[in-house]
Amino acid sequence: MAVTHASLNGRAEARELRPFESWPGGASPAGYVRRPLDDEASRFFDEQGFLVVENALSSDEVDELRREAVAICRGERGDLPGTDPGPAGESDDEAMRRILCIHFPHKVSPVMERQLAHPAIVETLTTVIGPNVKCMQSMLFIKSAGKPGQAWHQDEIYIPTRDRSLTGGWIAMDDATVENGCLWVIPGSHRPGVLYYQEWHADPRFDCAFEARRYPWTDADAVPVEVRAGSIVFFNGYLLHRSLPNYANAGYRRALVNHYMSAASLLPWYGGTLPEGQHVSIADHRDIVMIAGEDPYAWKGTEQRHGPHVRPSGEGGCGNLKYNEEALTRLSEQGGHSSNRER
């Protein structure tokens, strides 16, 4: 008997839902596609707010990302604010389990930087956003067994765009399942174009401090987005989404998550404090990487406003201001990173 959407969330929270049981008859659900994309894929994204591109990365590319994640966690790409060097003789697993999430890994890792403009990402984003696309953020989630998830939220709350074009690209480095903490989405919740009220939840299952509330859906409307390693989940910045903790007995739910938007739009992303003399109507964060097309504002140049750092568990959102400042200082001393090159 097919499992109804209404029962999925409750069974998952009760830890009764098996990995990939949400797939009807064992086949990929609606909205799971392969390249090249067709018009139906674009329509699904517009209507539902998300899209899964399966087999986007080869097994070799996934293995390369996994090795690079180990190197970053072991400090082989430099010390990152927010974490201390591990003890002598620390294993790879021990180094990985100490970290939940690293912000802006593309600024220390050429491997992570190269994935910003993976062909599957460029093809999908130029289809759902437009010909000119820029990236402003990357996050590497390690999420080992026992680590928390993230409560219901909308990414546009944290990264505001002028044209509502914010889109996440969630690269699965492992199979992501209901057991190890896959994404959950409320399909179509982006369509009203409303940023919903957020408040403190104090729920130890989640690492972020705030949760979206006062929206016209319930958890029963949510569906899990279980994917195989190498898939990429794309989702609109207004889409309500969350993840539950990694309840597996061992292992990881690793993912490289990048955020993109139309290069034609300004990006007023300043954490509440605008640069001196800059009015909100023309505020434009320029710590970006172009991944497709042309930058209409190339004459402004680029800047370093974010540095690679570790997100402390329990402090969600878009990173830690103190650690970000430390990271920027280190980048300045090192002469910056190649992510600010024009492409």
Using the predicted structure, report yes or no on whether residue 102 has a pLDDT greater than 80: yes
Distance of CA 250 to the CA centre of its chain: 22
Separation CA 121–CA 339 (nearest Å): 17
Domain ranges of the chain: 5-340
Residue 36, preceding peptide bond in cis (omega within 30° of 0): yes
User: What is the DSSP secondary-structure string of 200-253?
Assistant: E---TTBSSSEEE-S-S--GGG-EEE-B-TT-EEEEETT--EEE----SSS-B-
- Predicted structure pTM score: 0.92
Predicted pLDDT of residue 160:
95
The DSSP secondary-structure symbol of 169 reads E
Three-state DSSP at 331 gives helix
Alpha-carbon dihedral 9, 313, 157, 273, rounded to 10 degrees: 170
Out of 2.40.50.140, 3.20.20.80, 2.60.120.620, 2.40.160.20, select the CATH number for domain 5-340: 2.60.120.620
Using the predicted structure, report yes or no on whether residue 2 has a pLDDT greater than 80: no
Classify strands 32-33 and 50-53 as parallel, antiparallel or unpaired: parallel
Q: Are 50 and 43 in contact (CB under 8 A)?
A: no
pLDDT in tens, 205-243: 988 668 999 999 999 999 999 999 999 999 999 999 999
Read off the tokens for 296. 């209409």
Which residue would you say has higher pLDDT here, 54 or 276? 54
Using the predicted structure, report yes or no on whether residue 272 has a pLDDT greater than 80: no
Separation CA 292–CA 123 (nearest Å): 9
Q: Are 50 and 235 in contact (CB under 8 A)?
A: yes
